[in-house]
Every structure is written in structure tokens, then in C-alpha cells.
């Protein structure tokens, strides 16, 4: 039997200029749509604020998605992964979700999983899936070093936020 979740949470990624979805952003949306189209989730929560553009990443993802708007939610404030976890955790509690699947890029999944496991409400079953991005070896190396830098930058904030939504 296939697992099912109340919602899939799609983490934002900076779009290109002029609000054009980046490759990573597009791949995350497509992966979430796969779960929705297979009937494995009821809702999709797009999360991400205005990062390098005036339109929030979540709105860009929602507009890119083929999922009916009545089955999507947008979180439009988060500017980094810690905030994605905090704000979507608040939405999940309000919507009374009991399980969520977080979708992000392969290079981002380890840091995201750590952050969400620390910050997201413990009463909600949480799992993770990566998008189907094709990434060259050189780009992988760059992205992994970048992720380590972000983890170091956010470590103290993760510890502070970890106490906010626990139940």
C-alpha cells in the first residue's frame, strides 16, 4: 500500500529575474504534482516569500502548478528554510494535518530535513522527497558547500525556533 499524506509542502527556491521560475523551482513543483496526481496528497502547500523578486516564490509556484487552486495553499513570508518550517508548521497545525511530505531539491534535502525535524510540530508525521533534478558534479560540489554555509549561519536560529511549535 502506498503512503498518503494530508499535504505536500513544496519549499521555495529563488526564481530568475522577471519572476521566471528557476529550474530547481520548476522541478520541485513537478515532483509535488506527481504525488497529488497519484492521489497520495490532498493539498499542496507552496512556501516562500519574495526572494530577489517582488512576487513571493510560493505564488510563482502556485501559478506554475496545474493543481486546482482550491487544493493549494501559499505561505508568502518565508525567506529561508527555517522560516519555511516555522510558517508551514503553523499552517499545518491550523489545518489539522496529521502528516506532511516535504519536497525540495536533492542538494537541499539533508539541511531541510534537519531543520524541519527540529522546528515542525512533532505531532505531525513528516517525511521528505527530493525533486528529479539533473545536477552536474561541479554544481553539486558548489551547492553542498553553500548548504554547509547556510547551516552554520542558521544553527542558532534553528535552536531558538525549535521550541516554538512543539507539542
The full set of domain ranges for the chain reads 5-161
Over the range 10-48, which residues count as b (16 or more CB within 10 Å of their CB) and which as e? Answer: bbbbebeeebebbebbbbbbbbbbebbeeeebebbbbbb
- pLDDT band at 2, cuts 50/70/90? low
Please give the pLDDT value at position 167: 54
Instruction: Give the pLDDT confidence of 70-91 residue by residue, as tens digits.
Output: 999 999 999 999 999 999 999 9
User: Rounded distance, CA 74 to CA 52, Å?
Assistant: 18
User: Rounded distance, CA 50 to CA 108, Å?
Assistant: 19
What class has domain 5-161? alpha beta
Instruction: Give the pLDDT confidence of 4-60 residue by residue, as tens digits.
Output: 999 999 999 988 888 889 999 999 999 999 999 999 999 999 999 998 888 999 999
**Residues facing residue 102 across a β-bridge:** 9, 128
Amino acid at each position: 500500500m502506498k503512503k498518503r499524506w494530508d499535504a505536500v509542502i513544496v519549499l521555495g527556491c529563488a526564481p530568475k529575474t522577471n519572476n521566471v521560475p528557476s529550474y530547481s523551482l520548476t522541478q520541485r513543483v513537478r515532483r509535488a504534482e506527481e504525488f497529488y496526481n497519484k492521489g497520495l496528497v490532498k493539498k499542496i502547500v507552496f512556501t516562500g516569500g519574495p526572494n530577489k523578486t517582488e512576487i513571493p516564490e510560493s505564488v510563482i509556484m502556485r501559478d506554475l502548478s496545474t493543481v486546482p487552486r482550491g487544493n493549494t495553499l501559499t505561505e508568502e513570508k518565508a525567506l529561508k528554510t527555517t522560516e519555511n518550517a516555522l510558517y508551514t508548521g503553523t499552517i499545518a497545525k491550523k489545518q489539522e494535518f496529521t502528516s506532511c511530505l516535504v519536497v525540495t531539491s536533492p542538494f537541499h534535502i539533508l539541511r531541510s530535513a534537519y531543520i524541519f525535524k527540529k522546528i515542525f510540530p512533532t505531532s505531525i508525521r513528516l517525511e521528505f522527497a527530493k525533486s528529479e533534478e539533473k545536477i552536474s558534479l561541479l554544481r553539486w560540489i558548489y551547492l553542498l558547500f553553500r548548504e554547509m554555509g547556510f547551516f552554520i549561519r542558521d544553527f542558532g536560529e534553528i535552536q531558538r525556533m525549535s521550541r516554538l511549535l512543539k507539542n
